[in-house]
Amino acid sequence: MFKIKGKTVLVTGANRGIGLAFVNALLEKGVNKIYAVGRDLTSLKDVVAINPNVIELIVCDVTNSEHIQNLTKKINHLDILINNAGIANACFNTADNAVEIAKKEMDTHYFGPMQITQACLPMLKGSKQAAIVNIASVAALSNFPSLGPYSATKAALMSFTQGLRIELAGDNIKAVCVYPGPTDTRLAPGDIPKAKPQSIAQNTLIALESGQLDIYPDDFSKSMFKQFEEGADTLAQAYAQMHG
Ligand SMILES: NC(=O)c1ccc[n+]([C@@H]2O[C@H](COP(=O)([O-])OP(=O)(O)OC[C@H]3O[C@@H](n4cnc5c(N)ncnc54)[C@H](OP(=O)(O)O)[C@@H]3O)[C@@H](O)[C@H]2O)c1
């Protein structure tokens, strides 16, 4: 059993959306300390105000190497790292600006989490029971039309997590990948059914405690994973049909 109570946790993109929902869900679980990491000092201060005894803010852009090195200087113990910060641009793989968007999203979803993970690794190795939780997307399983670069960068994060799982097997560090479907945050516009960020965070923590390494935290992601199990092409066709 993986126990969240009493742990020290770092959440990136903690100032809003799913990151903020993680902060609240972690408080409900009785964690000892939360490092709320983000770019926006004003909204991070509001997060600290939820429980100043437990939450400490760290300003850090996950695409900035200097910020990441400074971040680890402010922490001396860590049990759980949640790489949550993310961006999404509607973009087809063949669009003129696809390379530019893919580079930005790769910095945020792959190189950022990779650098933060490497910087936090000595502290995670010092924990009795540690986890790295990477928030990918159900779009990591198959390239979603109109979110081409986004899907590819989330697939890179999934692959990174799979690699960590093998490399860290001897260090008592779980490497967990989460695949949310559409969730009601600023990142997912449009009039489609969406899960609540609170349920994504709560279901993820329940699954983490039960030992799951690949987490489908909502009904949509569960049903897309079923199609993926039938065959990668089955899911690709389902995504194509959804797009119309
Ligand atoms: N919403 C969905 O439908 C959905 C579905 C699947 C997966 N996800 C994933 O869930 C994660 C959270 O997204 P969300 O839905 O909560 O979106 P959101 O409400 O837009 O929040 C995104 C968060 O990431 C932060 N962020 C973005 N780039 C950053 C950077 N370079 N450095 C530091 N922080 C940065 C944002 O900070 P600022 O406030 O400073 O911009 C914000 O706190 C993302 O990785 C996203 O890809 C979301």
pLDDT at 243: 82
pLDDT at 36 over 80: yes
DSSP 97-162: THHHHHHHHHIIIIIHHHHHHHHHHHHHHTSSSEEEEEE--GGGSSPPTTBHHHHHHHHHHHHHHH
Distance 85 CA to ligand 1 centre (A): 4
Protein residue whose Cα sits closest to atom 43 of ligand 1 = 13
To test ligand 1's pocket by mutation, which of 183, 191, 196 has the most ligand atoms within 8 angstroms of CB?
A: 183
Average the pLDDT over 56-66 and give the result.
Answer: 98
The range of the structural domain enclosing residue 138 comes to: 8-243
Other CB atoms within a 10 A radius of the CB of residue 49 amount to 9
Q: Catalytic pick from 35, 110, 150, 239?
A: 150
Average the pLDDT over 17-31 and give the result.
Answer: 98
Work out the angle at residue 201's Cα, subtended by the Cα atoms of residues 137 and 102, and round it to the nearest 5 degrees: 25
Residue 234 lies in a domain: yes
pLDDT at 165 over 80: yes
Residue 84 lies in a domain: yes
Residue 2 lies in a domain: no
Residue for token pair 């992601």: 221
Residue 13 lies in a domain: yes
Q: Which residues line ligand 1 (CB under 6 A)?
A: 12-13, 15-19, 38-40, 61-63, 84-88, 108, 135, 137, 180, 182-183, 185-188
**169-212 per-position pLDDT tens digit:** 999 999 999 999 999 999 998 889 999 999 999 999 999 999 99
Under the banding of pLDDT at 50, 70 and 90, the label for residue 99 is: very high
Residue 95 lies in a domain: yes
Residues 123 and 139: their CA atoms lie apart, in Å, by 31
pLDDT at 194: 97
pLDDT > 70: what percent of the chain?
A: 100
Residue 3 lies in a domain: no
Q: pTM, whole model, 2 decimals?
A: 0.98
pLDDT at 244 over 80: no
Residue 12 lies in a domain: yes
Position 78, amino acid: L
**103-122 per-position pLDDT tens digit:** 999 999 999 999 999 999 99
Residue 1 lies in a domain: no
Average the pLDDT over 153-178 and give the result.
Answer: 97
Q: What is the Cα 29 distance to its own chain's centre? A: 18
CATH of the domain at 234: 3.40.50.720
pLDDT at 189: 83
Query: Domain total for the chain?
Result: 1
Decide if 110 is catalytic.
no
